Structure 1
Amino acid sequence: MGAVIRHVLLLLLSVLASGCVASIPPSGPADLSESWGKELPLPKEMAAALAKGEVAFLPGPGEAAIPVRIFGAAGTLSPVLMTHGLQSHSGWFVQSAALLAARGHPVYAFDRSGSGLSRAPRGDSKDFMAWAREIDAVAQEAMKRHGTGQVYLLGHCFGAIPAAVYASGHPDRIRALILTSPAIYTHTTLAWRQTVRILLWPAGSMDFAVPSPLETEWFSELDDYKRFIAADPLALREATGDFYWQIFRARRYLSANTEKLTMPVFVALAGADPISDSEKNSAWFESLPAARKALIRYENARHILEFSPDRDRFFADLDHWLASVEEP
């Protein structure tokens, strides 16, 4: 009887949700590795930073190669790996990448599987640990190229989740963990119909598309950046039900493994963030066992710090903190 009731519920939910979900396309966008940004209304600071990097495709743990924007390949300081948010991709963070490269850090900002320039199924994930394996693949390549056994790992927004998951499993490989506007805890949620459907559907078969709950104006208060975000063809505006289920699983895993984050940690919060819950993230930061950690709040920022009036202050603070960690 229970199986019959569950089947009926699934059918009803499918009908209710049919007007707002569809199937995710099986492959990513057309190859824009060379042309991305040229036709977009990029703020001038972004355009200048974008020109300083180059795109490479590194072997990944799956069938699809990992698109990586590399800045400062000849740098002599410890490499920095960068993971992006749910809707964004590596191209959104070229300013911070160029800044760190100018300070001597080789930077590897890569697109998560199914995002940005990735040719994997768009917006899909069947195993949150695959995000950590992608980080490891890029980390191993960066460490090999630069003759080191450690990297800095910088996670933006949603990217803070796979970054922290990876760091908890490989603390010896992380020189320091940097999280900006982390989505460990958020204000945003899916619509109740979508949430119930995900909870009832069999894991691994939720290929239906769920629209992102994020609004363009939530990312930045600056008009130039809002125009760019709205026009970006690589922005991920929907993901599969499986993807959102994996977010839940990753957060649950992280909650059980937070005590392993013993490396230096820097957290930067946006004071007016409608996406990430800065108060809960502050409490999570306080619970970290790291002996060396710092948290800075930028009251004038809405979400993405390098898209905010506090950009230069954030860059100065990040540069200063990294320099202090880099010292012998």
Structure 2
Amino acid sequence: MPEFNLTATDGRPLELWRDRPLGTPVGSVLMLHGIQSHAGWYESSRKALALAGWDTAMLDRRGSGCQTEGRGDTPSWRQLVRDVSVALDTLPTRPRVVAGISWGAKLALAVARLHPEKVDGVALLAPGICPLIQVPFLKRLQILLARIVSPRSLFDIPLNNPNMFTNNPHWLEYLRNDSLGLHQATARFLVESVLLDNWLMWGRWKQPFLVQLAGQEKIIDNRLTRHWVRRRVSGPLRIFEYPRAFHTLEFEEKDSWRSDFIEWLRELPKILSD
């Protein structure tokens, strides 16, 4: 169950899911989900990281998951980053890693840039920084106009085909029946997402990075993602690509990606000390 004891800087309650190791933690990980998903998608990874000794938390982005208030909305992208910063403060054990999944990679990058003192390492899982899917021009104009006159107007998120996320029959059925998934976002949220994209383009990062890509990707452009990351990350960088995997690595039957993630975490103290 989520812990309800977090309060955002604007007074909004935040939901943080926590999986603690049995013994003394070797470090901590904050996971950030994608635009449509929520913490419930990633229970297996949360538990696997905790079993490996990592104090693991996952923040349900405001307006996502179990939260019914302000569905698909945000005051600004900077408020979302402040939410992440509040969640990071609940994880005292270092090294502290922020792991961004799909759209959540944007927030992971942003908090690592704005608060480098809080983030020792960054993991990006199928990061949504270079999308394959583009919103049509006329729809973009409509969203921009709505942002001005009716910022809470809802628009469909163009990711409503479960086959874009996985080809696993079990998880396809799960996605079709997931009542907590987010399928619409406000004009304000969508414009703030673009503003965040533009801000990230000017960023540079020195922390150790892990990037994990799905070879059967239908949502992001892996080639552009590699170029984007290599151009901006000056710290130690590891990139893995799993040829048969689909976008949501969590739903893969073979979890070699998760083993690679945990191995990178295990090596992180040495990477930081070199």
- What is the match of residue 61 of structure 1? 9
Q: AA paired with 2:174? A: F
Equivalent positions of 1:262-281 (< 5 A) are 262-281=206-225
> What residue in structure 1 maps to residue 268 of structure 2?
325
Q: How far does residue 199 in structure 1 lie from its aligned partner after superposition?
A: 2.6
| Matching residue within 55, 59, 68 for 1:110 | 59
What percent of counterpart residues are identical?
25
How big is the shift at 1:207? 1.2
Q: Which amino acid aligns with 2:105?
A: A
Structure 2 residue aligned with 1:151: 96
Instruction: Please report the RMSD computed on the Cα atoms of aligned residues, expressed in angstroms.
Output: 1.6
Partner of residue 39 from structure 2, selected from 86, 90, 94? 90
1:252, 1:73 → 2: CA distance? 38
Distance across 1 between alignment mates of 2:90 and 2:149: 30
CA distance in 2, matches of 1:249, 1:194: 17
**Are the equivalent residues in 2 in contact too, given 1:65–1:118 (CA < 8 A)?**
no
Q: Where does residue 101 of structure 1 map in the other structure?
A: 50
**How many angstroms does 1:326 deviate by?**
2.9
* Greater Rg by CA: 1
Matches within 5 A, 1:222-301: 222-257=168-203, 259=204, 261-301=205-245
Greater shift in the superposed pair: 215-224 or 196-205: 196-205
Q: Which amino acid aligns with 2:261?
A: L
Query: Relative to structure 1, is the Cα distance of residues 189 and 289 closer, same or farther in structure 2, using a 3 angstrom cutoff?
Result: closer
Q: CA deviation at 1:117?
A: 1.8
More off after superposition, 178-187 vs 134-143: 134-143
Are 1:64 and 1:120, in contact at CA under 8 Å, matched by a contact in 2? no
Q: Deviation at 1:312?
A: 1.5
Which deviations, in whole Å up to 9, do the C-alpha atoms of 1:54-82 show, x marking residues without a partner? 32112222333111110015541111000
**Conserved in 1, the CA contact under 8 Å of 2:21 and 2:53?**
no
Deviation at 1:202, TM superposition (A): 4.4
Cα deviation per residue 1:281-302 (whole Å; 9 max; x = unaligned)?
A: 0111211333311000011111
Amino acid at match of 2:180: L
Q: 1:204 to 1:171 in 2, by over 3 A?
A: farther
The structure with the largest strand share of the pair is 2
Query: Within 1, Cα distance between the matches of 2:101 and 2:37?
Result: 9
TM norm structure 1: 0.78
The reply to whether residue 180 of structure 1 matches residue 128 of structure 2 is: no
Q: Deviation at 1:119?
A: 4.2
Tell whether the 8 Å contact from 2:21 to 2:52 is kept in structure 1 after alignment. no
Q: Per the alignment, in what secondary structure is the counterpart of residue 106 of structure 1?
A: strand
Contact 1:126–1:204 (Cα < 8 Å) also in 2:
no
TM-score, length-normalised on structure 2?
A: 0.93
Distance 1:204 1:294, change over 3 A: farther
Amino acid at match of 1:172: E
Structure 1: stretches of 5+ with no match in the other structure: 1-53
